[in-house]
Structure 1
Amino acid sequence: MLEVGQSTWRHLTLAQRARLLGRLHATVSASAEEWADIAATSKELEPGHPLRGEEWLGGPYAVLTALEAYRTSVRALAQGESPLARVRTDAAPGGRLCARVFPLTAIDGLLLSGYSGEVWFEPGVTEAEARRNAGLGQLTPTTPAGVGVVLGAGNVSAIPVLDVLYELMASNRVVLLKVNPTQDALLPVFERALAPLIEPGFVRIVRGAGDVGAYLTTHRSISHVHITGATPTFDAIVWGPGANGERRRRANRPLLKKPITAELGGVSPIIIVPGEWSTADLRFHAEHVVTMRLQNSGHNCIAGQIVLLSADWPQREAFLDALRVAYEAAPRRSAWYPRSDEKLQGAASDYPDASWCADGTRALIEIGAGDDATALETTEYFAPILGVVSLPGTGQEFLDAAVAHANEKLTGTLGANLLIDPAAEAALGDGFERAIADLHYGAIAINSWTAFGFLIPTLTWGGFPGSTLQNVVSGMGVVHNALLLDRVERSLTRGPFRPLPRSVSALAGPGRFSVLPKPSWFVTSRTGATVSEGFTRFRMDGNWARLMGTLVQAFRA
């Protein structure tokens, strides 16, 4: 059926594809409430739990915004215009081109006030080249690319659907999606939500364990493999399992004979740049760090795992005190992902002096002088485990040391986070942007969290370029990328250091003004579930009256 669908797909005009994306928006909207409910329940979040909003944002919201963005790009191409035509570009450090890809609409600027997103191209890419090549597979829509298999992630429900959309839009590949066993309960929802793609044979969805995935990757009808998961799974697919697979890897004799792309995880840093922070700043960003670790119970490929802190910051102890309080106080929930118990036990074994918080369900590991941070820096725990590593210096000296430490000591290149107050950033000047350029991660979040970049469809998502089959690090290739940009190096998000009302100070000095109080995705937001659902429903139906009620709830966070 997919081979027939491949022929049909290549005969669709760009205008027809845009209308198809509109139909998908309707079917995803119709499935959204059930989608979010099943996803939350499968993660042991019962009705009324304050964290159920995570499943609205990480499920239907992410897909709806992606569909809107892809449809805008395809419509532009259908009219003979580049998806980048109305996007402002300027220079970035190191001979790079920067495209300011968020916000592009007034509603984005309202719902995510004070936040912005940008894409940095590889050094040497010109503005003319970037605009000319924007569109990828949709520039040659009649050229077939075969059938791809997507091995779906099991932690965030939007990921497999977003990966399917990217295969179709960026590569003109029809898709066989194998859902992860953790999402089997969502299979009927996915089938209804993606019915406009399934009925004509553009997508097929199957379920099964690892043996099914292994069979599909080697099937003669499959021309391309995409996986979101962990490095060991990638290596088993490419080289084969066990000792034989390792021998093939060393000899560069891959078992897989077809192209593969992958989004894999890593150990994500949270760099705290020293500055003069108020008590409210310390408390807010302690909750920010806790959110980076505990959202989805830590089962995120870009969950912040290591706080890089200045040993010479006068407010170091005050920040750590605020972090300990916030880590203990965050809402309780279970570590639901398979093998989480093993990860928690491994951390307990590696660091017997760790502090166990929230009735022993989450660990805070503070590396002291003479302690070995190797396990913390090289193991993606994928569980509620947060570490703190101290480095010498302040100002530019500390920032450069933290960047070097992240690049050289931490496993992975998927996402890095930096928190810096506006005065400190202004004092660093060009040195700050140079340090960002030196930070080799595919997603960088400044006063935001890299998951924010995951949710913005016009940004790219993937590890830093340069990975190989033998050393895949955090993956190969990118996804999301709804502007269909070519030769992208990384994506950045920037947010307000202070929420409303303290963001008002940015109107008369450095920093970013925001009309938002505590963001709805903070695990400590009192109204996060209500606001996240409300934002999703607005993406579904554009009901401004109901949105006003949601914004009122946002101010009660």
Structure 2
Amino acid sequence: MEDKKTAIKTIDQLKPNIWNKTSIKDRVRLLEQIQQNIKSYADDLAKSDKKMKNKQTSENIYSDSIAKVATIVPLTNTLTACIDLYKALEKDGEPLKPISISKVKDNLYDIHVFPKEIKDKIMYGKRKDYIRVKGEPKQVSPMEKPTEIIAVLGAGNYSSSSEMVKALFLENCVVVHKPHQLNEETDQTWAKIFKPLVDIGALGFCSADQGQELTKDERLSRIYFTGSSATAKAIANSTDTKLVSECGGNNPCIIVPGVRAWTKKEIKHQAIQIATMAKLNGGAVCGRPQTIVTCKNWAQREEFLLALKDALEIYTPAAGTYYPGSEKVIQGFKENCPEAKILNPENGKYKSGEFILITDAPEDDYCVTHEAFCQILSEVPLDTTTNVKAFLEKAIDFCNTKLLGTLGSCIIIDEDTKKAHKTDLENAVTEMNYGGIAINAMPPFIFLNPYLTWGGHESDKDLVSGHGHFGNLLCYENIEKSIIYDSFMSPGHMLNTNISAMDELSENMSAYSIEPTWSNLFKLMWGAIKGNFKGKDF
């Protein structure tokens, strides 16, 4: 910040009473104004994020386009969704309605929330997103919630904070935001973008070194935190203010042995999908899969593992490990997992692009009980029969009882097996103690959808992945978890096999998220189609 802004001074400038009286119509106007401001400052945000990450790696590995999509899309998705919510409140006097509500069993309901609008249906195809609610489903309009003060402590692994928008427009609270020290420069730009909210006392930005002063301020009603569980525990122990936290974990990707053999194309597709997500943001993504859970007796296990190794080393480009502390984490995995394979994508062009793959790890291995948050993947084969029901029961028990954390998970299952074992899959989703479960999709897409919730599943347990959640655009109470269902070979899967195609996709995705027009949607879709035909360029 140009002038140091203390936490106390920033909170002093907040005006909860004015925000409480701000009309729905004015809130829509503010949201739209901020959306337009992002369009004006998008390149500045990208340059700052790129500069930070390349400085951390000491290599020129992050592009403007990749930095832009990572910084902008989580927040603009939330702004667009909030505009839809408040227009519904203005028109109907109540929150947006779901697509459907179905009873799972006594006192448990699945609420189909997305995609509902025609553009979203075109973009996301057969994907269906649900929130699971305990008790009779009930919505509470954000305008009916008390206007209090929430402190948002920004994450270090992405240079924006959609939690600010969620606190303001889903919880009806005013916000003081403190950036992570990595993202102080982008935060200066965000302060310019959000100036309309700053001007009316709904939002304030304080300096990155104000963490202790901020969290101890007795005027706060809640603290939103994204970061390590150790820091979350320290915050919780230092204040009586309610802490809503998201702290990552060791997220599983369960590979279900099929009732039929997977084709070579299917195996390569799934391997590249996992590799793409494992490398995203240099592995510094809270919901990325870290542990691949397989069936030891699956006939195609070795073929799949070879495809995964090739996807990581040959078919996807290098990404840069940049997050502070990663070197120490990597050293710990190398020392405790001597069987680890060291892979060097792009023939070792980038030192920060090194990837570690661990296979055939035992169920109580170091790689099971530790989070990586960098470019490390492990595989744990479970010694069960290939019977789908038996394997899923063992896999869910392993994930629930041995893996670190409860944040995000995914299950990869072919369509024939999904159809033949519909009940077994549904039981697995119910029994998994995770805040987010993605079927044939990757968990970070749950985080990216403001209609869903993002957080751990451990309110009555020791803090690992966090307590509480963020999101919930339709404003339901008592949400247990969020669930995505997609198709096994969905054209919407992120497969990064060409650098120029991914840069173009990222630019088009950023543009569409800022202005979700038909022309921007067609440009995005056409670019994605063209990208599928581009060969390797690295």
Mark the CA change 1:183 to 1:59 in structure 2 (over 3 Å): closer, same or farther: same
Output the amino acid matched with 2:144: L
Q: CA deviation at 1:524?
A: 2.7
Higher mean alpha-carbon deviation, 230-239 vs 21-30, is at: 21-30
Q: How far has the Cα of 1:62 moved from its partner?
A: 2.1
Call closer, same or farther: CA 1:524–1:86 in 2, change over 3 Å.
same
Structure 2: runs of 5 or more not aligned: 1-9, 533-538
Give the equivalent residue in structure 2 for 1:304.
Answer: 289
Cross-structure match for 2:509:
535
Q: Distance in 2 between matches of 1:55 and 1:446?
A: 27
Q: How does 1:242-261 map to 2 (within 5 A)?
A: 255-261=238-244
User: Quick check: 1:40–1:46 contact (8 Å CA) kept in 2?
Assistant: no
- Distance in 2, matches of 1:238 and 1:220, equals 14
- Residue 319 (structure 1) aligned with residue 304 (structure 2): yes
In the alignment, the residues of structure 1 paired with residue 296 and residue 36 of structure 2 have an alpha-carbon distance, to the nearest angstrom, of 53
1:10 to 16, 20, 36: 20
Partner of 1:169: 169
Secondary structure (helix, strand or coil) at the match of 2:239 reads: coil
User: Taking structure 1 as reference, are residues 532 and 46 closer, same or farther at Cα in structure 2, changes over 3 Å only?
Assistant: farther
Aligned to 2:496: 523
1:87 counterpart = 2:67: no
2:466 aligned with 1:461, yes or no? no
What is aligned with 1:193? Answer: 193
Q: Structure 1: how far apart are the matches of 2:253 and 2:435?
A: 15
Tell me, which stretches of 5 or more residues in structure 1 are unaligned?
A: 240-254, 500-515
2:517 is aligned with 1:553: no
Contact 1:465 1:489 (8 Å CA) reproduced: no
Question: What does 1:144-543 align with in structure 2 at a 5 Å threshold?
Answer: 144-145=147-148, 147-158=149-160, 160=161, 162-209=162-209, 212-239=210-237, 255-275=238-258, 276-329=261-314, 330-358=316-344, 359=348, 361-368=354-361, 371=362, 373-391=364-382, 392-394=384-386, 395-467=388-460, 471-499=462-490, 516=491, 519=493, 521-526=494-499, 527-543=501-517
1:112 is the counterpart of 2:124 = yes
CA deviation digits over 1:20-72, x for unaligned, max 9? 21222211222223223322332229999686544333321222221121122
Alignment equivalent of 1:138, drawn from 140, 143, 146: 143
Match of 1:222, SS state, is coil
Q: Equivalent pairs: percent with the same residue?
A: 26
Distance 2:498 2:476 in 1: 35
The separation in 2 between residues aligned to 1:13 and 1:60, in whole angstroms, is: 27
Mapped partners of 1:73, 1:354: distance in 2:
48
Question: Residue in 2 aligned with 1:511?
Answer: none
Shift of 1:332: 1.7
In 2, Cα distance between equivalents of 1:10 and 1:522: 44
Larger displacement relative to structure 2 (33-42 or 382-391): 33-42
Q: Distance in 1 between matches of 2:24 and 2:200?
A: 16
Shift of 1:77: 2.5
Give the AA of the match of 1:154: G
Instruction: Describe the SS at the equivalent of 1:68.
Output: helix
TM-score (norm 1): 0.86
Aligned in 2, Cα 1:307/1:529: closer, same or farther, shift over 3 Å?
same
Assess if the C-alpha contact under 8 Å between 1:271 and 1:308 holds in 2: yes
Distance 1:63 1:156 in 2: 11
Task: Give the secondary structure class of the aligned counterpart of 2:165.
Answer: helix
How many angstroms apart in 1 are the aligned matches of 2:11 and 2:246? 24
Q: Is the 8 A contact 1:307 1:389 kept in 2?
A: yes
SS at match of 2:307: helix
- Given that 2:130 and 2:484 are in contact with CA atoms closer than 8 Å, whether structure 1 keeps it comes out as yes
Could you say what secondary structure the match of 1:492 adopts?
strand
Q: Residues 273 and 266 (structure 1 numbering): CA distance in 2 closer, same or farther, change over 3 Å?
A: same
Task: Tell me the C-alpha RMSD between the 2 structures.
Answer: 2.2
Whole-Å separation in 1 of the counterparts to 2:323 and 2:450: 26
- Deviation of the 1:94 alpha carbon: 5.6
Q: Judge conservation of contact 1:2–1:202 (CA < 8 Å) in 2.
A: no
How many Å separate the matches in 1 of 2:46 and 2:305? Answer: 35
